[in-house]
Chain A
């Protein structure tokens, strides 16, 4: 073991708003990461677990990353950091599991016509239209797929998000699921105008896009080794469903839109169309953001790609 003289750092953490001295750490290793400093800070302030700490060089500046190393930061041997409380945090996995389980359960409640939703004479009856059974299978399949992807496929770059997001997200997903399910499973539901042809086409579109969406999720997962947070440009793989990467930055959203368009066509239900539209708007916002950060980070980013719709958007 080499013994070399190590210059230890001193770290003081001030409150970003009040500038109060919250914590003083002496004898900090120069190769300590911000993540490790957060753990040390947590010891003296147990109510602020590392996930809710935002540590920055400047009170109004950007948050430092957990991976940043102390000696590589523009600080002297006595480093001054500013702390902001991000508020109660909740893990992405928890949020996803909660927001996706809701629609799965809620839709089934409408499908099985549990009491107090429709008139009592319909309690626990089933629809006479076979497209209603198909729609239930598709909707359920979609959310089971999402749950499994959350548990086994996705690699999250952020561990947590603010707690209030779970209420906002669940209201959106659960609310829309109830609204759609109410009409599709209603005793007075009207099946699609063009009957079997329409339903068959819709089902093909839906399945195609579900497979596509899954293929993209797997491709994105394979870009990133376990435990890493590196970002790379995604490229088409041997799987034909990923060839859309040639034209689009976020094909997962493209396929998601396609799935819901298929479901709208299948059910011919205005609330479903509305849900598809709102989702499309939100995904476009996300896709444009992702596309912009790809362009900023990679000089050689393929110029042919659009954020979400080939050549269009």
Chain B
């Protein structure tokens, strides 16, 4: 049975925030993620410069993209899904401009987001990073979503033709799954989900940047 004093200690510890080990882990994690996305961004730029166009860009960043996508267990599911279940699985989609659209959007978003987390953890957040995090999304979110939707849409005819990831009756598990219909449902789900996310970020922006005038530029 815990004494009241011990209980108090535990409660106090909880309030102090993540312990040193957790903070160290989070800092390293965020630095690695920032670096990873920087690698992808650099790769994109170099490949573009080398080829003179942006066809085939996906292949140049495929490996690091996959690594940093699946490494990010905490990432939003849509990122992993788009990379593996759509773009990777449907070869024909990989040369589409829509892929470039969402990869660029994600890349820039993620570099800003992970630098934001890294700096926050070290209690030294430059105002510029905070401003970037809460402003760039205004263009990057719609850009990313458009790219994602166009990519899924582009994959549809190939999924239907090949029956990719689909299971039909009869079978001994009495189960069926139509990947084509599933993708359409995913696309439809963007309609309620995206505006909610977007306007949540806008509200956050008002709250966070609204008070900017009251505080000093560097925290």
Contacts and interface: CB of A to CB of B under 8 A. Distances in A.
A268 B59 CA distance: 43
Contacts of A268: 172-174
A295 to B, nearest CB: 12
A190 B170 contact: yes
Contacts of B174: 183-184, 186, 189-190, 267-271
Contacts of A189: 169-170, 174
A312 interface: no
A2 B170 CA distance: 82
Nearest to B177: A270
B175 interface: yes
A1 interface: no
A193 B171 CA distance: 11
B173 A188 contact: no
Contacts of B175: 183, 269-271
B171 A190 contact: yes
A18 B26 CA distance: 39
A190 B169 CA distance: 9
A184 B176 CA distance: 12
A271 B174 CA distance: 8
Main secondary structure of the interface of B (DSSP, over half): loop
Contacts of B171: 190
Choose among B169, B172, B173, B174 the residue with the greatest number of A CB atoms under 10 Å from its CB: B174
A interface: dominant SS: loop
Interface in A153-195: 183-184, 186, 188-190, 193
Contacts of A269: 173-175
A184 B174 CA distance: 7
Interface residues of A, number: 12
A187 to B, nearest CB: 9
A268 B171 CA distance: 10
A195 to B, nearest CB: 12
Contacts of B172: 190, 193, 268
Contacts of A184: 174
Contacts of A183: 169, 174-176
A161 B171 CA distance: 42
Contacts of B170: 188-190
A186 B66 CA distance: 40
Interface in B147-191: 169-176
A47 B175 CA distance: 49
Interface string A250-274: 0000000000000000011111000
Contacts of A188: 169-170
Contacts of A267: 174
Interface in B14-62: none
Contacts of B176: 183
A188 B169 CA distance: 6
Nearest to A189: B174
Interface in B183-216: none
A81 to B, nearest CB: 27
A186 B169 contact: yes
B2 to A, nearest CB: 14
Nearest to B170: A188
Nearest to A267: B174
Nearest to B175: A270
Contacts of B173: 268-270
Contacts of A271: 174-175
A208 B170 CA distance: 31
Interface string A78-96: 0000000000000000000
A88 B127 CA distance: 44
A146 B143 CA distance: 51
Contacts of A190: 170-172, 174
Nearest to A192: B172
B182 to A, nearest CB: 14
A216 B170 CA distance: 39
A184 B172 CA distance: 12
Nearest to B169: A188
- Which among A193, A267, A270, A271 has the highest number of chain B CB atoms within 10 Å? A270
8 shortest A-B CB distances, which residue pairs? A270-B175, A188-B170, A188-B169, A269-B174, A270-B173, A183-B174, A190-B170, A190-B172
Given A186-B174, A193-B172, A269-B175, 14 more contacts: A183-B169, A183-B174, A183-B176, A184-B174, A186-B169, A189-B174, A190-B170, A267-B174, A268-B172, A268-B173, A270-B173, A270-B174, A270-B175, A271-B175
16 contacts: A183-B169, A183-B174, A184-B174, A188-B170, A189-B169, A189-B170, A189-B174, A190-B170, A190-B174, A268-B172, A268-B173, A269-B174, A269-B175, A270-B173, A270-B174, A271-B174
Interface of B: 169-176
